[in-house]
Amino acid sequence: MKKQIRTIAAIIPPPAVHMVGDGFKVHNFFPSQRIIGEKGMSPWFLLDYNAKWDITPGEKPRGVGVHPHRGIETVTIAYHGKIAHHDSGGNSGIIGEGDVQWMTAGGGVLHKEYHEKEFSRKGGILQMVQLWVNLPKAFKRTPAKYQAIENKDMSRYPLDDGKSFVELITGDYKGISGPALSFSPMNMFNARLIKGSVADFSFDREYNTGILMIEGEIKINNSEIIPENNFALFKHDGEVFIIEAVKDSIVLILSGKPIDEPVSAYGPFVMNTEEEIKEAYQDYFDGKFGYLED
């Protein structure tokens, strides 16, 4: 059967910024935006976008102090600047431009995120995305783990112009796969396009699909323009869409199979029931998430 064009449900401009700790100035595209809703981009529960922000030099790195998570994975993608991570599982790492930190909180972990020390001393542009990936019920209590994905290790699919390419974090594109492992089917790509280049994408029509314009401007299906820092949410009316770069562009592309389970979320925890949220808080207060120095 011939595949159908997938059309846009909404183009969402960046919501008002709010601070996460003192180090990240973010636009929360979901779950706060009603047009998307809590489960509208499942398996992703949250998308915080720190658009380009000029960080003044300082000796004390800004960031977010020690805090817990359970029931999710946090995925941090750096576009400009450097970010450091530490968690109670003994994992730590620094990501720079194009790198990804993928932390599985699973049954529970403490972590903290800061501007990397040398970047903080020198200052510069910070731009990053953090996504919370919901875990299916069967994996809510999986042991915590950490995937450090350097940009050089990502798979790339070259486009016809010879300069543009699709960079795979996880999932599959035209026969190649990204390095990150996930607990439910999903695709997470960066399309890095020069002006005039064209890329086509095809996903299961049941998958929740959206794109975030990190840089530049694109045209979708030869019609609608998506400006920089906007999010486009797709309908479930087809499989295929085409993007054309109106300017040199970077586009974060998300498409994943919805997790058809109840969601109960409060603070840093995303579980299936309110009772599990209460249990998560009790376990945290009882010290069951380990120890991490602030």
> Can you say whether the dihedral through the CA atoms of 87, 89, 95, 99 is positive or negative?
negative
The H or E element spanning position 254 is: strand 249-256
Q: Are strands 198-202 and 240-245 parallel, antiparallel or unpaired?
A: antiparallel
Q: Which pLDDT score is estimated for 39?
A: 54
Residue carrying the six token digits 């950490």: 146
Short-list 103, 111, 131, 108, CA closest to 45: 131
Q: Which amino acid belongs to residue 55?
A: I
pTM assigned to the model:
0.96
Question: Which segments of the chain have a pLDDT < 70?
Answer: 34-39
Short-list 132, 24, 145, CA closest to 83: 24
* Gap between the terminal Cα atoms of the chain: 56
Q: Which pLDDT score is estimated for 38?
A: 52
Domains annotated on the chain, with CATH? 8-256 (2.60.120.10)
Q: What is the DSSP string of 63-110?
A: EEEEEEEBSEEEEEEEEES-EEEEETTS-EEEE-TT-EEEEE-TT-EE
Q: How far apart are CA 253 and CA 232, in angstroms?
A: 10
Q: Which pLDDT score is estimated for 86?
A: 96
Q: Which amino acid belongs to residue 91?
A: N
Q: How far apart are CA 193 and CA 191, in angstroms?
A: 6
The conformation of residue 9, written as its DSSP 8-state character, comes to E
Q: Which pLDDT score is estimated for 2?
A: 86
Q: Which pLDDT score is estimated for 129?
A: 98
